[in-house]
Structure 1
Amino acid sequence: MTLRKTSPWPDDDLILYDGVCVFCSRWIRFVAARDVERRFRFTAIQSGYGTRLAQAVGINSDDPDTNAVIHGGEAFFRSDAALTVLSNLPGWRWVRVLRAVPKPLRDAVYGLVARHRYRIFGKYEACFVPDAEMRARVME
């Protein structure tokens, strides 16, 4: 599932994530700490902006089962989203080789973690509040 190149989402290099998921919020902090060029921006699916983006790309904002990244005018989901983000971070370009792993297998592992993320990692009562530096990169 991708956005058509003819009508891309207006913001590129944007990561949509579950803001109440502890694992997902840590993922965002992981990316922000390594993104020295500050190319990626973030939006929680629970924000107004994030909900609109989720609806535009076909994610149920009430029960998200994936994160997404808009990159190059396309939306990437599940393992493709994670690999797209990682492969654009300094020192992590090597993860591109993981695309050789069949997508159904990669997405099955992703889905297993996604289904059990609250039980394994926990859940915030509300979206985590980023520090001042990261807040400039958050779109609400």
Structure 2
Amino acid sequence: MQKSSSIILFDGVCNLCNGFVQFIIRHDAAGYFRFAALQSAEGQALLAAHGISLPALSDPDSVVLVADGQAYQHSTAVLRIARRLGGIWPVLAIGLLVPRAWRDAAYRLVARNRYRWFGRQEACLLPTPALKSRFLGS
């Protein structure tokens, strides 16, 4: 893994989360981000290394960004990811000025309803051969 990369842990069976990963891949021309499903052995190892336990891996409630030796969750993870993307997306990082409690309340509203609104898959996303190197454990 490159020293200058960060890892995004995501719910591998969530359609919204998989769409978010595809969005990041499209807007991360430098290939800065790598990915792992929260449910994977690699994802579990990273969570444990950062002292994070999610309520239920069958319904994890957060995306996790591991960057610079830190782990970020919920809205902070999403906004820090946006800051590293190309195009206009870094502007969203201004949301970090909003109190975290408010940001996370909105984040959790979407997280609680994401399967109902966007659906879920039976198995985790399988990367294409061209993207395989960006996914841990692939």
Provide the TM-score with structure 1 as the length reference: 0.87
Aligned partner of 2:53 in structure 1 is 59
Segments of 4+ in structure 1 off by > 4 A? none
Q: Which ranges of structure 2 fall in alignment gaps of 5 or more residues?
A: none
Matched, 1:18 2:22: no
Pairwise CA RMSD: 1.7
Aligned partner of 1:88 in structure 2 is 84
User: Which secondary structure does the structure 1 equivalent of 2:130 belong to?
Assistant: helix
Matched, 1:125 2:128: no
User: Pairwise mapping of residues 62-77 of structure 1 onto structure 2 (< 5 A)?
Assistant: 62=57, 63-77=59-73
2:105 maps to which of 104, 108, 128: 108
Shift of 1:100: 1.6
Deviations 1:14-39 (A, max 9, x none): 00000001100110110011100001
Shift of 1:82: 0.3
Deviations 1:74-102 (A, max 9, x none): 11110000000010111222112111211
User: Percent same amino acid at aligned positions?
Assistant: 37
Cα distance in 2, alignment partners of residues 34 and 131 from structure 1: 17
Q: How many residue pairs were aligned?
A: 131
Cα distance in 2, alignment partners of residues 112 and 56 from structure 1: 27
